[in-house]
Chain A
């Protein structure tokens, strides 16, 4: 057995299966068209992943003004994106999935900024496919790739399962995403595999980047991974043989 030391006395808060809650997430889910997002859901059902802190109470009383979209004008696109990220990083016994972590909002903001517009990339033509060793050569920026890919996910869902992507069962959603991962879907000026790898990358970034970017809510991505965040130093821990578990620290804590 692994002997975990517990530096800051933080126990495992994240236990207990709650299948009715998951069903609620799905039913009340963001495809029904009402208020969407984890803050709302957290407010309604509480958030068991951090229910021993003050933030659960806060989320009931304080509106989250950051839960609005910048990049995705169409609600349906955002709903498809949300469930796609949830399939990539699903809620489970370890803790929240992409939706509760705020990953869809993280991606929305990233696509609205320089990354989504490929501001730091060489985007001059001519564009040719080239060899596999020559890297991605798409004339589309990441925002355009996401918009096209997300809409195609919904098209494939409707065609294959006669239902929009958010309404599909988990296994059906996985099946659709696998078609993109395996490059079985035709997209214009970009491969579906490239789109999927961007979607996967952005989902993991949203789960694990500093919460200042809108994902990794309450640092729960870091908690699940036992990653301590922006601690100032590890000079006192670096030689320890045993694993040391710490309460994570965010940049907003760090800057106090």
Chain B
């Protein structure tokens, strides 16, 4: 029998970026917030041994262990899904900070086109441009409406960047100037300009200079030390919930962080969330935690799995297209290897061991609807970029094709090319499809017997066409950069179950109507007005760039909604409208 605890006003399930933002905003406003965190509390002191590639990269020190629960994966409805067993293939942040601690800190906003993708595509190209089964829909909010929340996130995180001629309108410049230009970003920009594109320095949450945010939290200047992506920043120079929103919440004295608390159910009765059920991961003891408002702020997969396990909302049916929970699964980086071009330079060496997760150059000319799609066989697009994250000695062993992968020739060439190889890649947008979704697996369970989440996902023609388009662009850029050996990646026929970049979305998507979406534009559930589901689980599709800016903006908007909800004694914050969706 679970032990029943005293009621709190707001409980968050997870304390990373979204949980931290909700906690900070509501605690500042005077509400009592409890953050339940499955992992432990971390601080900068925990990043003291961070310059250890083996521990943090191949051994995934900052990622969740899968021994209790994982996902199952299959490419299509007719295949039996099998578990992703190796924790190198499913890398999800653990402990406070979550993915916001180990991220590369590359920063983007999504485009006005993303928010109204269905309407704008139909308006410009007609309904026939959208293939059958591509379940894109408007997000129920416009770019102009969400812009102030991007601004808020950027000020909190101190984002470094410069104005983009193709970027959406901004109400304010970036809080800090862009990171340094380095030899490889200069080469990329020059090549891209020669080809007629508009390159710029990648915006980043690895900061160009020391910055104090509006909450009084200090983020230091990046030292380009290279132990960044998959690692926490020892210098406190990468925006991370553990040095920003979590301490902000804690300083109010209205926030309690409770760690080792694994939420297993949302308690739900008569159309209301009553609280959550959680297990102390050390003792196995169960607790019932009542709350006025429940906010789901864990990663996409766990948000969706908890909704399904708690039987909240109507599960999505891929055959009829009815239901919403689990709908529109997308994963952004799963085919990274299929959209890049590698260049080997025989007479040039670069200091590739140095770098920062957010250091790079990019152009947005081919993203969203920034160019005419009348003559191409896909919608949306991608961003071409080069980055210098700092190449690790273990994981970076590039050799030209045809070289054996071990032995004398491999050793010779991998040593020679270690500092002579650059990659340009095309991060592409991923569209949702009727048969790409998440549900509960019928065969595999966690230790307590609860079903695992099952993911059904593959490539469609849209993806193959867009990838080829992007590869060709990258190849042109690499040629212009003067590489001696140029190797475009090969197309991938089917996607593998390897979710390593924490860019997965959907399952509790945002929209205009309860018919086609799970949450309104405050991330409030249509069916349960005191339950908010925050994060990339709300993305109806995955745009071409990294998600954190948009996740952060949505969290700030959700916090505002929750405040309004609590102040006004409840109720739906948004009137449903007609869905603008391809069904």
Which A residues are closer than 8 A to B by beta carbons? 1-2, 4, 87-90, 92, 94, 115, 118-124, 126, 128, 130-137, 174, 177, 181, 200-201, 203-205, 208-210, 212-213, 221-222, 224-235, 237-244, 251, 254-255
Contacts and interface: CB of A to CB of B under 8 A. Distances in A.
A222 B393 contact: yes
Contact of A122 (B84, B180, B354, B392): B84
B105 interface: no
Contacts of B445: 124
B66 A121 contact: yes
A243 B354 CA distance: 11
Contacts of A134: 73-74, 81-82, 496-497
Interface residues of B, number: 71
Nearest to B181: A239
A131 B75 contact: yes
A255 B405 CA distance: 35
Contacts of B51: 210, 229-230, 251, 254
A88 B180 contact: no
Contact of A135 (B49, B82, B394, B444): B82
Given A94-B412, A234-B223, A238-B180, A137 B354 contact: no
16 contacts: A90-B407, A92-B412, A121-B66, A122-B68, A124-B447, A133-B73, A133-B496, A134-B73, A135-B73, A205-B58, A221-B393, A226-B418, A238-B180, A238-B182, A240-B351, A251-B52
B183 interface: yes
B300 interface: no
Contacts of B98: none
Contacts of B498: 135
Given A118-B85, A120-B66, 15 more contacts: A89-B406, A90-B411, A123-B85, A134-B73, A135-B73, A204-B397, A209-B52, A210-B51, A228-B353, A235-B222, A238-B182, A238-B359, A239-B180, A239-B183, A240-B351
A133 B393 contact: no
Given A122-B67, A205-B394, A232-B225, A136 B86 contact: yes
Contacts of B393: 208-209, 221-222, 225, 227, 229
A118 B223 CA distance: 35
Given A92-B412, A94-B415, A230-B51, A120 B351 contact: no
Contact of B52 (A230, A234, A243): A230
Contacts of B223: 232-235
B59 interface: yes
A121 B407 contact: no
B224 interface: yes
B419 A137 contact: no
A90 B67 CA distance: 36
Contact of B59 (A89, A115, A254): A115
B282 interface: no
Nearest to A129: B82
Interface in B330-377: 347-351, 353-355, 359
B313 interface: no
Given A92-B411, A133-B495, A238-B182, A209 B54 contact: yes
B329 to A, nearest CB: 15
A132 to B, nearest CB: 8
Chain B contact residues, majority secondary structure: loop
A173 to B, nearest CB: 10
Contacts of A225: 393, 414-415, 418
Interface string B45-63: 0000101111000111000
B82 A137 contact: yes
Contacts of B222: 235
A201 B73 CA distance: 25
**Which of A134, A201, A228, A233 has the largest count of B CB atoms less than 10 A from its CB?**
A134
**Which of B75, B407, B418 has the largest count of A CB atoms less than 10 A from its CB?**
B407
B253 interface: no
A88 B82 contact: no
A246 to B, nearest CB: 9
B65 interface: yes
Contact of B49 (A120, A174, A181, A251): A251
Given A88-B406, A235-B224, A133 B75 contact: yes
A137 B495 CA distance: 17
Interface string B145-183: 000000000000000000000000000000000001111
**Which of B80, B83, B418 has the largest count of A CB atoms less than 10 A from its CB?**
B83
A238 B354 contact: yes
Nearest to A197: B405
Contacts of B392: 208
A234 B224 contact: yes
B319 interface: no
B210 to A, nearest CB: 12
Contacts of A137: 82-83, 85
A74 B447 CA distance: 35
Contacts of B84: 122, 135
B354 A237 contact: yes
User: Nearest 6 A-B pairs (CB), nearest first?
Assistant: A234-B354, A230-B51, A233-B223, A243-B349, A209-B54, A208-B393
Nearest to A84: B406
Nearest to A196: B406
Contacts of A238: 180, 182, 224, 351, 354-355, 359
